Chain A
Amino acid sequence: MIVLNLQDDLHQMFLEETKEQLDQLEQSLLQLESDMYNEEIVKTIFRAAHSIKGSSGVMGIEPITKLAHHMENVFSMIRSNELTPTEKIITVCLRGLDMIRMILASLCEDSELDIDITPCITDLNQFAQQKNTKSQIDAPATPSSHDLGQISLALTQEELFLCRNLELRGELYKESDLRSNIYKIVVELKQDALMKSIKAFLILNNLKQIGSILKQEPDDLDLIIDETFDNFIVVLLDSHQKEEIIYSTIDSVSEIKEIRIQMIHESKYKAENSTEALENKTKPEERATIRVDVHKIDTLVNLAGEFIIDKETLNQLGRDLKAKYKNDPLIHQFLDLLPHINQVGADLQETIMSTRMLPLENTFNRFPRLVRDLAHRLHKEANFVMEGKETEIDRGMIEELVDPLTHLIRNCLDHGLETPEDRKLSGKDPKGTIVLSAKQEENTVVITLSDDGRGIDVEKVKAKLLSNNLISHEQLLALSDPEILQYIFEPGFSTASQISEVSGRGVGLDVVKANIGKLHGIVDLKTQKGEGTTFTIKLPLTLAIAQALLIQEDEYKFAVPISSVIEIIRLKDDEISEYIHTAKGIEIFNWREQFIPVIRLGKYFGIDPTTHTHKAFIVIVGHSDKKYALIVDKLLNGQEIVIKSLGTFIGEDKMLGNIHGISGVSILGNGSLVYVLDIGAVRVYKHRL
Chain B
Amino acid sequence: MSELQYVVFFLDQEEYGIHILHTQEINRLKDLKMNKVPNAPSFIQGLINLRGEIVPILNLRERFELPPKKTDKKTRVIIAKSENKVFGLLVDRVSHVLQLDEINISIPPEEIRYNTDYITGLGKKDKRTIFLLDVNKLA
B-binding residues in A (CB < 8 A): 306, 555-556, 605-607, 644, 646, 648-649, 655-657, 659-660, 662, 665, 667, 671-673, 675
Contacts and interface: CB of A to CB of B under 8 A. Distances in A.
B33 interface: yes
B87 interface: yes
Closest 5 CB pairs of A and B: A605-B38, A673-B35, A659-B39, A656-B40, A648-B85
B26 interface: no
B35 A656 contact: no
Contacts of B58: 655
A673 B49 contact: yes
Interface string B33-61: 10111111100100101001010101000
A644 B36 CA distance: 17
B84 interface: yes
A620 to B, nearest CB: 22
Contact of B56 (A555, A649, A667, A671): A649
A675 B38 contact: yes
Among A605, A660, A667, A673, chain B packs the most CB atoms within 10 A around the CB of A673
Interface string B74-94: 000000000011010000000
Contacts of A671: 33, 49
B122 interface: no
B139 interface: yes
Interface residues of B, number: 19
A648 B84 contact: yes
B119 to A, nearest CB: 18
A262 B52 CA distance: 71
A605 B85 contact: no
B52 A667 contact: yes
Interface in B9-38: 33, 35-38
A605 B38 CA distance: 5
A659 B56 CA distance: 14
B54 A644 contact: yes
Nearest to A646: B54
Nearest to B46: A673
Interface of A is mostly: loop
B85 A665 contact: no
A407 to B, nearest CB: 25
Given A306-B52, A665-B47, A656 B38 contact: no
A657 B41 contact: yes
A293 to B, nearest CB: 22
Contacts of A606: 38-39
A450 B54 CA distance: 40
Contacts of B44: 655-656
B52 A659 contact: no
A683 to B, nearest CB: 11
Nearest to A605: B38
Nearest to B38: A605
A673 B54 contact: yes
B56 A655 contact: yes
A659 B36 contact: no
Contacts of A644: 54
7 contacts: A605-B39, A655-B44, A655-B58, A655-B87, A656-B41, A665-B47, A672-B33
Given A656-B56, A667-B49, A649 B85 contact: yes
Among B38, B40, B87, chain A packs the most CB atoms within 10 A around the CB of B38
Among B39, B41, B58, B87, chain A packs the most CB atoms within 10 A around the CB of B39
A138 B56 CA distance: 75
Contacts of A646: 54
A673 B39 contact: no
A659 B37 contact: yes
Contacts of A607: 38
A527 B59 CA distance: 49
B44 to A, nearest CB: 6
Contacts of A659: 37-40
